[in-house]
């Protein structure tokens, strides 16, 4: 097992800066996820850790050891690729044994190790099957077994579930987590799927355009996003333009632009830095944090609006409410009575002060 440290890492391809000024410390035994949209630099970063690319600038360390220019075969990392990269003409056994043969391990030891790892991924009865005769989920398990059999210090998984259907993806998530805990192996998982990242990871790094915007636990990233890009990438969110009114000890009072309604916001420092009055900020709240009532309400942070549309999803209802010129999304979990919620009817929304976040706005309008 090893920790991984990236120090000021940059990778360019011609004029394209694929990854820039990246500083990351991944702890021993951690399940760490790189999350971001297509082309944001996740795979490039993973490949620099595997040794398939060398950084243009910066240092890659495993523990204290400088690995920046060490070739892949000398790194003791196991990798699972998006398309599995299995040898289709070989059996399951031969695919998994391949890495051990290359390392000139004696054949009895190869047999034992392949047998053990196939048991772990629950494929022990498939040893003699050609991989071309396996289902997608089974091929995925072979790819995992092939990465794990060499007993790597670090496991690298590049969008390993993207070729599977939704149900199988759910099963394989649990399977991967079980294997990671069993082997207690430092793991980096690349995905653009926020639900996958939130549900599997110890910590997540959120990337966009080659830049890492935030590193934190799923809870921190969801509840205390570093900026509007992270907030909207990691889940649904309402953004509300506002003007700052005044700052009182614990609370900031703001006025919604286009409206005359006041909101107070608990003063929350983000990234351990207090924000300043001249920073470009935006007010944000998650749809499930808004309380909705069909009865008139008064009080702090109550907004009056009209239902614009309503969508029923079984476990939740998504309601769009027009408040003056702003549309707010509200998610209600399994309401007992839907008949009172009708299009065009008046509703009152309470935005609890401790669920509102003021966050830096980095993206354009
Ligand atoms: P995806 O989720 O689509 O795989 P990604 O986040 O993994 O995307 P990267 O593959 O790391 O993104 O690519 C980052 C940027 O670097 C992109 O603009 C991409 O076009 C560019 N890039 C990646 N590899 C190369 C290469 N070998 N040559 C030139 N440009 C590259």
Q: What is the Cα gyration radius of the chain?
A: 25
**Which numbered atom of ligand 1 lies nearest the CA of 45?**
11
Per-residue model confidence as pLDDT tens digits over 77-112: 999 988 778 888 899 999 999 989 888 889 999 999
For the ranges 49-63, 72-86, 159-173, 283-297, which has the lowest average pLDDT?
159-173
- How much is the average pLDDT of 5-27? 96
> To test the ligand 1 pocket, which listed residue (9, 14, 44) has its Cβ within 8 A of the most ligand atoms?
44
Tell how far CA 243 is from the center of its chain. 32
Please give the mean pLDDT across all residues of the chain: 88
> Which residue would you say has higher pLDDT here, 62 or 140?
62
Q: Residue 199: CB partners within 8 Å, gap ≥ 6?
A: 173, 218
Q: Give the model's pLDDT for residue 259.
A: 65
283 pLDDT band (50/70/90 cuts)?
Answer: confident
User: What domains does the chain contain, in order, with CATH numbers?
Assistant: 4-233 (3.40.50.300), 238-360 (2.40.50.100)
Distance CA 343, CA 338 (A): 11
With a 6 Å cutoff on the Cβ, whether 208 touches ligand 1 is no
Between the CA of 41 and the centroid of ligand 1 the distance, in Å, is 6
pLDDT at 362 over 90: no
pTM equals 0.89
For the ranges 37-46, 137-146, 197-206, 267-276, which has the lowest average pLDDT?
267-276
Residue nearest to atom 19 of ligand 1 (CA): 39
pLDDT at 175 over 80: yes
In the sheet with 203-208, reading across from the earlier edge strand, the strands are 77-80, 154-158, 186-191, 31-35, 203-208, 211-216
With a 6 Å cutoff on the Cβ, whether 11 touches ligand 1 is no
Q: Give the model's pLDDT for residue 299.
A: 78
Q: Map residue 133 onto helix, strand or coil.
A: helix
- The pair of structure tokens assigned to 95 is 């695919």
267 pLDDT band (50/70/90 cuts)?
Answer: low
Between the CA of 43 and the centroid of ligand 1 the distance, in Å, is 7
Between the CA of 55 and the centroid of ligand 1 the distance, in Å, is 14
282 pLDDT band (50/70/90 cuts)?
Answer: confident
270 pLDDT band (50/70/90 cuts)?
Answer: very low
Q: Give the model's pLDDT for residue 273.
A: 45
Between the CA of 260 and the centroid of ligand 1 the distance, in Å, is 46
Distance CA 294, CA 136 (A): 49
Residue labelled with tokens 């966050």 = 359
With a 6 Å cutoff on the Cβ, whether 102 touches ligand 1 is no
With a 6 Å cutoff on the Cβ, whether 128 touches ligand 1 is no
What percent of the chain has pLDDT above 90? 54
Per-residue model confidence as pLDDT tens digits over 215-248: 999 999 999 999 999 999 999 999 988 877 666 6
Per-residue model confidence as pLDDT tens digits over 117-153: 898 888 889 989 999 888 888 888 899 899 989 889 9
271 pLDDT band (50/70/90 cuts)?
Answer: very low
Q: Give the model's pLDDT for residue 95.
A: 93
């Amino acid at each position: 097992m090893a920790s991984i440290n990236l120090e000021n890492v940059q990778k360019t391809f011609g004029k394209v800066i694929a990854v820039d000024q990246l500083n990351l410390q991944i702890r021993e035994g951690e399940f760490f996820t790189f999350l971001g949209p297509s082309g944001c630099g996740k795979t490039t970063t993973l490949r620099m850790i595997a040794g398939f690319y060398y950084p243009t600038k910066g240092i890659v360390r495993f523990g204290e050891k400088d690995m920046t220019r060490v070739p892949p075969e000398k790194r003791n990392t196991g990798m699972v690729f998006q398309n599995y990269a299995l040898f289709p003409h070989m059996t399951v056994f031969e695919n998994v044994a391949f890495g051990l043969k290359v390392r000139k391990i004696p054949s009895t030891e190869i047999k034992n190790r392949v047998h053990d790892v196939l048991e772990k991924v629950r494929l022990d009865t498939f040893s003699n099957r050609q991989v071309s005769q396996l289902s997608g989920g089974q091929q995925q398990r072979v790819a995992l077994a092939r990465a794990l059999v060499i007993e790597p210090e670090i496991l690298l998984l590049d969008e390993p579930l993207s070729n599977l259907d939704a149900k199988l993806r759910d099963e394989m998530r649990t399977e991967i987590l079980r294997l990671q805990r069993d082997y207690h192996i430092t793991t980096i998982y690349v995905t653009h799927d926020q639900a996958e990242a939130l549900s599997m990871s110890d910590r997540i790094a959120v990337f966009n355009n080659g830049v890492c915007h935030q590193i934190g636990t799923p809870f921190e990233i969801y509840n205390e996003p570093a900026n509007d890009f992270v907030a909207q990438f990691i889940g649904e969110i309402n953004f509300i333009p506002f003007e700052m009114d005044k700052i009182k000890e614990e609370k900031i009072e703001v006025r919604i632009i286009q409206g005359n309604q006041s909101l107070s916001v608990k003063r929350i420092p983000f990234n351990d830095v207090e924000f300043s009055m001249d920073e470009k900020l935006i007010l944000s709240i998650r749809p499930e944090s808004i309380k909705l009532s069909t009865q008139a309400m008064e009080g702090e942070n109550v907004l009056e609006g009209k239902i614009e549309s309503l969508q029923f999803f079984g476990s939740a209802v998504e309601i769009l409410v027009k408040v003056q010129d702003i549309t707010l999304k509200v998610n209600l979990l399994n309401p007992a009575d839907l008949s009172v919620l009708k299009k065009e009817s008046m509703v009152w929304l309470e935005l609890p002060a401790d669920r509102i976040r003021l966050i830096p706005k980095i993206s354009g309008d």
